[in-house]
């Protein structure tokens, strides 16, 4: 695991964006795994700037998102498809048909999940997967549990995640309680993973994760310790406990 600590959120975001941009320049038809949430917004803003000012070309890039709330349509302004359209896709020259976000209305979500995984593999697999981390250690919506499911699947959200995500909704009872998420197997198949973390509410979990002394399904992100090519990029705040433990 390569660990990079940047001064602040802006620097963390531009570091992540420059890794992605270098990869697109090397492989214009890059398969990029994307995340939602607050963490990657700055990275997306920097990619948009690079597209507009430096001509970074997304015309051959394909993207696969990690997850989607179950029960929300793509037009719902709380859906992750809606978030991706507004935060990134509509500002760059990516082809809509090359952007995949799990379908929150899938009738048979587990069969759908299998198809989603097959689609990823048929495209050649994810070259770079961007990840955030939940303060409970989840990645995508793989919540701490006795067992973790490998493939893309329907899952329930924990109370902690519902609490954390309620900041985007009018009230906590509006937060969906289920989601379709890539599983740990899907995520671990990505050739390269970039895990981003910023802010004080990630200090504790990053300290715990980066002790690097065990893997446990109770901290789903710890499985990343087994992956051969993970780069962690944090800001100073998220890195506080990690640095203390060094
Ligand atoms: P955040 O969410 O980027 O909004 O902190 C990360 C996550 O829950 O995976």
Give, for all 246 residues of the chain, the pLDDT tens digit: 999 999 999 999 999 999 999 999 999 999 999 999 999 999 999 999 999 999 999 999 999 999 999 999 999 999 999 999 999 999 999 999 999 999 999 999 999 999 999 999 999 999 999 999 999 999 999 999 999 999 999 999 999 999 999 999 999 999 999 999 999 999 999 999 999 999 999 999 999 999 999 999 999 999 999 999 999 999 999 999 999 999
For residue 17, give the 3-state DSSP assignment. Answer: helix
* b (16+ CB within 10 A) / e for 4-31: ebbeebebbbbbbbebbbebbeeeeebb
What distance in angstroms lies between residue 10's CA and the mean position of ligand 1's atoms? 16
Q: Which residues pair with 62 in a beta bridge?
A: 31
What distance in angstroms lies between residue 131's CA and the mean position of ligand 1's atoms? 9
Nearest-angstrom CA–CA distance, 223 and 2: 15
For residue 48, give the 3-state DSSP assignment. Answer: helix
Residues flanking ligand 1, CB < 6 Å: 37-39, 132-134
CA 131 to ligand 1: nearest atom = 9
CA 135 to ligand 1: nearest atom = 8
Q: What is the 3-state secondary structure (H, E, C) of the chain?
A: CEEEEECCHHHHHHHHHHHHHHHHHHCCCCEEEECCCCCCHHHHHHHHHHHHHHCCCCCCCEEEECEEECCCCCCCCCCHHHHHHHHCHHHCCCCHHHEECCCCCCCCHHHHHHHHHHHHHHCCCCCEEEECCCCCCCECCECCCCCCCCCCEEEECCHHHHHHHHHHCCCHHHCCCEEEECCHHHHHCCCEEEEEECCHHHHHHHHHHCCCCCCECCEHHHHHHHCCCEEEEEECCCCHHHHHHC
The pTM score is: 0.98
Please confirm, yes or no, whether 110 is among the known catalytic residues: no
Please confirm, yes or no, whether 67 is among the known catalytic residues: yes
Note the pLDDT of residue 156.
96
């Amino acid at each position: 695991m390569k660990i990079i600590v940047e001064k602040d959120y802006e620097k963390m975001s531009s570091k992540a964006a420059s890794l992605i941009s270098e990869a697109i320049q090397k492989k214009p038809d890059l398969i990029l795994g994307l995340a939602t949430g607050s963490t990657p917004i700055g990275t997306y803003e920097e990619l948009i700037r690079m597209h507009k000012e430096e001509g970074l070309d997304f015309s051959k890039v394909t993207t696969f998102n990690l997850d989607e709330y179950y029960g929300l349509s793509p037009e719902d302004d709380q859906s992750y498809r809606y978030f991706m359209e507004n935060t990134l896709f509509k500002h760059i020259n990516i082809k809509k048909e090359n952007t995949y976000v799990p379908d929150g209305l899938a009738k048979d979500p587990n069969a759908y999940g299998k198809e989603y995984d097959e689609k990823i593999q048929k495209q050649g697999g994810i070259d770079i997967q961007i990840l955030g981390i939940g303060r409970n250690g989840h990645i995508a919506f793989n919540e701490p549990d006795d067992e973790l499911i490998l493939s893309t699947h329907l899952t329930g959200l924990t109370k902690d995640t519902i609490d954390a995500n309620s900041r985007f909704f009018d009230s906590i009872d509006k937060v969906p309680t289920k989601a379709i998420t890539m599983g740990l197997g899907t995520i671990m198949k990505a050739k390269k993973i970039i895990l981003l973390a910023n802010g004080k509410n990630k200090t504790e979990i990053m300290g715990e994760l980066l002790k690097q002394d065990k893997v446990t399904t109770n901290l789903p992100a710890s499985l990343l310790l087994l992956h051969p090519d993970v780069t962690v990029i944090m800001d100073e705040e998220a890195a506080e406990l990690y640095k203390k433990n060094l």
